Structure 1
Amino acid sequence: MRNSTQQRTYQKLDELADQLPWYVIEYIDKKKRKLSPASLLNYCHDFKIFFEWLVAEGFYAGNIQSIPLRILEKLTAQQVEDFLTYLKFQLQNKDITVNRKLSSLKSLFNYLQNIAETDELEPYLNRNVMAKIEFNDVYEDPETIANRMEGKILLGDEYEAFRMFVEKDYGELFKDNNRILNFYKLNRERDTAMVSLFLGSGLRLAELAGLSLEDIDFNKCSVRVVRKGNKEQYVYFSEQAVFDLNEYIKIRSDRYTISKQNRALFIAAPMGPKGTTRRLSARAIEKIIEKYAKAFGKPSLSVHKLRHSFATRYHAEINDVPKLRRQLGHSSIETTMIYTHLKSEDLKNAISKLNMPKE
């Protein structure tokens, strides 16, 4: 699982980091032990926007790779506020997105002032302007969040209806279009298994995209994933997902004509003159879900909303927030002790209850 997906992410990370100043590359290298490559890739995107803004605003007359530390040390709080205003009004970032980019910069500047040091044991920065900058106040009451989410996630009977739509009804909808119908028939079992696993486990997109055959334990109804922070965890999934995964795996090798060396769980349809097969990318999975969601009548239903749908149903059925947090991988310092007291068997039983019909 790590050897393919993570290697590609690390490659993208290294390519993007090479476009940034040396001290940023050093920061990224130091963080690789603690943060996932996907998180670090997001950091690099944020840094690139910041350094490109510095050049565009005339703070430095060169390429962003050459921006010296003295430029960062001389920035004023007002100039940083100008950058945040640029994010909000020019790039049209929401407050929560501006906060995330600011958090990335705070982490970098903190490293440069308090962790990194020269051969003379001096900090890279003597002055940290980011410490003066406050985050945007972002608050939404539960009712506002619920109202925004309504219509974007699966509720009640829609949960199984969407799975059935992917398994069967989509083909009925396009039965007169041979091109769409044939492509659907080729990938029906695969797509049903993906949707069923999303809805039966609450996995993140990257977690599902990175799965390999050996990560699935059908006996324990669990799957091995690498969560944020490179933490390995076994996550339980529903009996319906077990059934749909088995149906897909039965046809996986012959349908996609793949070699035994290809251990990726979800495979893309053969492409090119040689019919090359490969692991289905995260973006491809997103587009597949978007296709079915639009045809289903819920165009706002995304992969992340499937995760929300799982969480909503789990909470309604089980009503156990600590177990849900562990299932979703929402780890934090405040909840670590809760996780250590959880029993795996209890979590497995909680997932199994999702299969029980209501009286």
Structure 2
Amino acid sequence: MPSRNPTYHEQRETSYTLQLRQLLTELPPYARDYFRAAEQKTSAKTRVSYAYDLLVFFRFLIEKNPELSSKGINGITLGDIDLLASSDIEEYQEYLKYYEAENGEQKNGASSIARKMSSLRSFLDYFYKKEMLAKNVAMQVDMPKLHEKAIIRLEPDEVAIMLDNIENYENRLTGKKKDFFLKTKIRDIAIITLFLGTGIRVSECVGLDITDINFRENSIRIIRKGGNESILYFGAEVEKALLDYIEGPRAMVAMKAVAGEENALFFSLQKKRISVHAVENLVEKYAKEFVPHKKITPHKLRSTFGTNLYQEIGDIYLVADVLGHSDVGTTKKHYAAIKDQNRRKAALAIKLREN
């Protein structure tokens, strides 16, 4: 019986697992206990992010602490960490704003610093609860204050402008640029329409196989963050865009696809599964051309969908479910700005004098 090719998600899981193994060789030996425990409640990708964050912390320790520099990262013990004071963690927060790393200078804003601090808190808390540390010194330091940013999304007229212009973009191009666009036009329209019509994440979009599409129910099967399977449904516009692509250019590419990639829904020009980076680039390319006053990414298209859905149904819990948010608070935070529009409607509804 021939062996089955690993799925996109299985390949990614393997890749992250191998990355984590390599990173663990650079961290102190006891870090393995923490990551072994974290495996039960985090994805491999998340654990890799934690490992990178912790490496920054340990590099800070040996760079700024003369007593630890001679030990190297692998030689730093939990006893050494127990000797740290809150002032050391405050210095670490300051260090995170700008530092030299192996791949060049690194700058972090408040949200990135908060994420690295959260990783450190979680790491130290594990050993504190195991009574292997006398205290979690990271908990003695306040987290950076995060300022809420306005949600960037497309307004309904901008959605129409973007899609209409992509459909007719070849009329503005000549030569090689026109030829290149025509090779990807139908695929690109399908991808952008899928984002706007389902709120799918870019990683979920890239991971789609042709077998995940069900036109009888107009649904797609996706693997959410954390590995959970979910079903999303789509309307007539998404259905048409997908069928145009699947029955058109995809059918031709799939016959010549790279071995092991045949089941991918979206292909690159190299006849391989399209990458996250490529999808990000194509969305940003069209947005820059047709809605230049806004920096639009796949995530912003997801926000556009979430906003439109909430405005249509007014059910924040359903929006959270469709978007795959495990905590409805996340959804409320992201789409709270919609209240401004409702406030404007409320203001207009009040008549102080009859005309």
TM-score bracket, normalised by the shorter chain, equals: 0.7 to 0.9
Mapping of residues 1-359 of structure 1, within 5 Å: 1-58=8-65, 59-88=68-97, 91-115=106-130, 123-140=131-148, 145=149, 148-149=150-151, 152-166=152-166, 168-173=167-172, 175-176=173-174, 178-250=175-247, 251-255=249-253, 257-258=256-257, 261=260, 262-270=262-270, 277-298=271-292, 300-332=295-327
- Cα distance change of structure 1 residues 285 and 25 upon mapping to structure 2, 3 Å threshold: farther
| SS in structure 2 of the partner of residue 306 of structure 1 | helix
* d(CA) in 2 for partners of 1:12, 1:292: 33
**Which amino acid in structure 1 is aligned with residue 111 of structure 2?**
I
> TM-score, structure 1 length as denominator?
0.79
Task: Compute the displacement of 1:89 (Å).
Answer: 5.4
Alignment CA distance shift 1:196-1:283 (3 Å): same
Partners in 1 of 2:278 and 2:32 — Cα distance? 30
Compute the TM-score of the two structures, normalised by the length of structure 2.
Answer: 0.80
Q: Is the 8 A contact 1:88 1:94 kept in 2?
A: yes
Moved more, 314-323 or 14-23: 14-23
Change (3 A) 1:237 1:40: farther
Structure 2, unaligned stretches of length 5 or more? 1-7, 100-105, 331-355
In 2, Cα distance between the equivalents of 1:15 and 1:266? 31
Task: State whether residues 213 and 221 of structure 2, in contact with CA within 8 Å, keep that contact through their aligned partners in structure 1.
Answer: yes
Task: State the Cα distance separating 1:105 from its structure 2 match.
Answer: 0.8
Deviations 1:286-341 (A, max 9, x none): 11212112222335111111111111111222221110011111113879xxxxxx
SS in 1 for 2:230: strand
Cα distance in 1 between the residues matched to 2:211 and 2:269:
21
- How well do the aligned residues superpose, as a CA RMSD in angstroms? 2.3
Matched residues, number: 311
SS at match of 1:225: strand
Cα drift, residue 194 of structure 1:
1.0
Moved more, 89-98 or 218-227: 89-98
Q: Is the 8 A contact 1:60 1:71 kept in 2?
A: no
Give the fraction of aligned pairs with identical amino acids, expressed as a percent: 30
Displacement after TM superposition at 1:283 (Å) = 1.5
What's the offset of the Cα at 1:195?
0.6
Matched residue of 1:233: which SS? strand
